[in-house]
Amino acid sequence: CTLGSEVALRVGGDFFFDPQPGDSPVKLVLIAGGVGINPLFSILLHIADLHGYQEGKGKGYKMGTVKLYYSAKNTSELLFKENILGLINAFPGKITCRFHVTQQTSQICKELQPHITGK
């Protein structure tokens, strides 16, 4: 976002992301903590499908970039982390993630290190 950008915010409840082929592309920021990743991970998978479809067919909804911010106590509590890393690698620059850990006491694996912030 830049100064003056319009931002829509949705917290909890019933939400979904289902753009139609004629809709304008949007940039998404997804923010999750702990098990709150569940619905956002579903949205992330849908976004990956949209990117994959766009690359294969060249038609349909043109997806913008997505940034996921996901916090947990430690890396063992980051649900779907391997799947999320797979999506980051499959769609470089289109899907990005920053994991944040608040109570990490053990060393963080090399695969996660570039994506981790926190203690």
- The residues spanned by each domain of the chain are 28-117
Residue 61 confidence (pLDDT): 79
Res 15 pLDDT > 80? no
User: From residue 2, how far is each of 6, 7, 97 by CA, in Å?
Assistant: 9, 10, 19
Assessment of whether the complete model's pTM goes beyond 0.75: yes
Write out the two tokens for 66. 């997505």
Separation between Cα atoms, residue 56 and residue 47, nearest integer Å: 14
Mean pLDDT of 51-77: 84
Mean pLDDT of 28-43: 93
Candidate CATH numbers 3.90.850.10, 3.90.79.10, 3.40.50.80, 3.40.50.720; the one for domain 28-117: 3.40.50.80
Task: Please count the residues of the chain.
Answer: 119
Res 14 pLDDT > 80? no
Count other C-beta atoms under 10 Å from residue 116's C-beta. Answer: 17
Query: Are the C-beta atoms of 87 and 114 separated by less than 8 Å?
Result: no
Q: 66-99 pLDDT, tens per residue? A: 999 999 999 999 999 999 999 999 999 999 999 9
